[in-house]
Structure 1
Amino acid sequence: MERPEGEAKARDPEDPASAVAGQWLREQTSRTSLSPKAQAVLDVLAAQPRMSTYGSTQQIANAAGVNGATVTRTAQALGFSGWPALQNELRARYLTSLSVPEITAEHHTRQDGVFADSLRRDLESVALTNRHLDAATAQQVVATIATSRRTLVSAEGSYAAIGLALTHNAALAGYPVELLGDHGRPDTLNTLADIGPQDTVIAISLWRLYENTVRTAQAARERGATVCAITDSATTTLARTAHHVLTVPAEGTAFFPSLTAALALAQALCAQLATHRPEYTTERLRRAEELWERFGILHVSRTPPH
């Protein structure tokens, strides 16, 4: 996507994205007393959401008539670690307000550059995750999985690919982690009804959240289970339901969200999980390998006859 150049236009009162950004910012500030300079920063964010989601600290400061430190302090006053964290949240809110056709139009990349731009965007998303992910929360999620009686993963649509990788590798490491099936099936709901305080539910949903994933997280919390969320916004209903929230960028370059950062996060969680009880995991891997060989699961390359 091309970055907006020059000074952004004033907010169009009919612009849905501006309305969504403004409403969200008002909700965040309703319980916080801000200085006039901080309020000037928020006014810029609400009036110019597209510019704000790409602008640097200094660009935001210039638009608000303040210095860069004020932008950082404003983000911290709202509960974020700094401007990058607030910017990522604002970006997620902005994208959520767009329909599929609108987000396609937003990503008006040249046709001959789509492939390279997609790879570049994913590389940037992983780099952002590496720099800004809360490592302490990630460790808590790993410890929760390792000590739970059972861990259920709720992920629908393309997000099921993330859930499948997470459950496959965690189970291979020796931990009882499984992917919930079709949320409309009675047996899936029966499984969910059986969880309690000794269990964990990991809810994975990005961009426009799946209703069933949110309901699963809410039902799990009501039953005393620990709820973890992998998502792209820290202030949605899903995030507020979860005990532990891991946020990753999810913007792609087409009509669908990118799964790359979330998948990288899932792989990192499993890698860390394998070190929790290394001897136990090593033994489980050995036993699994023996069964793979017995059942001929993996293709064995043989030299073709002459």
Structure 2
Amino acid sequence: MWNTPDLILTTINRRCNTCCTTGGGGMAQIAEWFDGLSLGRKPSPGIEAVLTIVRTDAGRASFMSTQDLASRANVNVATVVRAAQFLGFSGWSALKSELRHRYLASLTAEKLLTERVVPPIGLAGSSLANDARNMARLADSISPDQLTRAAAILAAADRTIVLATGSYAAAGFQLAHVGQWMGRDIELHTSSGTALVNRLRMLSPGDCLVSCNLWRASKFVLEVVRVAAQRGIRIVAIADRQTAITDLAEESLLVPSEGVTFMPSTVAAVATVQALLAELSSSDPDRTMTALRDTEELWSELDLVDPI
């Protein structure tokens, strides 16, 4: 998580030791997911050596470089890449990102906080550096074509629900607020309840539900997404790893969410929403311009903002 290797190793060891001594439920889920990717196939001895390390020591492996993992498994770097491809990933970087987010999601906020190591540059500086890395990873994890397709789903919908909980409601609020500013019927919901049911009932096939939930998503979100998909609602998911929600989504946008303390980072999710809104604004320029002009007139009429 930080630039100093010793700090990284210390943090990994603390996290892994704690996880192994507190029941290991999260690690068992990771192992089950991992086994599901193999589909019963028999890998070569070299690939099997890599996969054994990743499966049995997921916490440490999720922070290893390609070379580190190759050395640990006593294979070459190309074998590590082939091992990731054996599981359906483009390479070790893609598998490592998925593995790390699953591992971090298995830890409680308390564990994340108590196991942190304060780096020499301090937590504030480390947080800024970490988010800069998250943005670099985002550029590798989401393609412009994905954003264009997701924006097209929003543009085609008459109504859209944005379902975002916890700190990720910030990204959801941005999507709903600016979307409404552009004349789109986009509404944010941050909890379960009758208001959400009423809104869901008003959606028609072809309308959209955007799920923006990372780290440890609220249980009700999956059920709402499942019901929406059954009713012909198009699903867009913003997530930090593959989940049952992303499996139901027509378009999944996977963003890095790793933080430096107990808080997952929201930076990549907000940046993804900004990119979606940029694409959405260009899908129907005349509609966007009309809505913006009308909003400006209402601001002036109601004397809501300072004059330019």
TM > 0.5 fold call: yes
Query: For 1:173-252, what aligned pairs fall within 5 Å after superposition?
Result: 173-180=182-189, 182-184=191-193, 186-234=194-242, 236-252=243-259
Identity %: 34
Summarize the Cα distance change of 1:300–1:191 in structure 2 as closer, same or farther, 3 Å threshold.
same
Q: Which runs of 5+ in 2 are unaligned?
A: 2-6
State the 1:290 CA deviation.
1.1
State the 1:223 CA deviation.
0.6
| Counterpart AA for 1:134 | S
State the 1:21 CA deviation.
3.3
Tell me what 1:4 maps to: 9
Tell me what 1:96 maps to: 105
Q: Displaced runs of 4+ in structure 1, greater than 6 A? A: none
Structure 2 counterpart SS, 1:54: coil
Q: Which of these residues, 96, 114, 122, is aligned with residue 87 of structure 1?
A: 96
| Counterpart AA for 1:199 | D
State the 1:150 CA deviation.
1.2
Taking the aligned partners of 1:221 and 1:19, their CA distance within structure 2 comes to 29
Tell me what 2:37 maps to: 28
Taking the aligned partners of 1:50 and 1:4, their CA distance within structure 2 comes to 11
Q: Which has the higher helix share?
A: 2
Summarize the Cα distance change of 1:32–1:240 in structure 2 as closer, same or farther, 3 Å threshold.
farther
Query: For 1:287-306, what aligned pairs fall within 5 Å after superposition?
Result: 287-300=294-307
Query: Which moves more between the two structures, 242-251 or 41-50?
Result: 41-50
Structure 2 counterpart SS, 1:81: coil
**What TM-score results when the alignment is normalised by the length of structure 1?**
0.89
CA RMSD, aligned part only?
2.3
State the 1:268 CA deviation.
0.8
Are 1:268 and 2:275 matched, yes or no?
Answer: yes
State the 1:112 CA deviation.
6.7
Query: Which moves more between the two structures, 218-227 or 44-53?
Result: 44-53
State the 1:204 CA deviation.
0.9
State the 1:181 CA deviation.
5.2
Taking the aligned partners of 1:95 and 1:278, their CA distance within structure 2 comes to 41
Tell me what 2:4 maps to: none
Paired residues, what number?
A: 297
Confirm or deny: 8 A CA contact 1:8 1:48 kept in the other structure: no
Structure 1 counterpart SS, 2:292: helix
State the 1:34 CA deviation.
2.3
Q: Which runs of 5+ in 1 are unaligned?
A: 302-306
Tell me what 1:108 maps to: 117
Structure 1 counterpart SS, 2:8: coil
**What TM-score results when the alignment is normalised by the length of structure 2?**
0.89
Structure 1 counterpart SS, 2:225: helix
Are 1:168 and 2:177 matched, yes or no?
Answer: yes
Taking the aligned partners of 2:52 and 2:224, their CA distance within structure 1 comes to 36
Confirm or deny: 8 A CA contact 1:53 1:87 kept in the other structure: yes
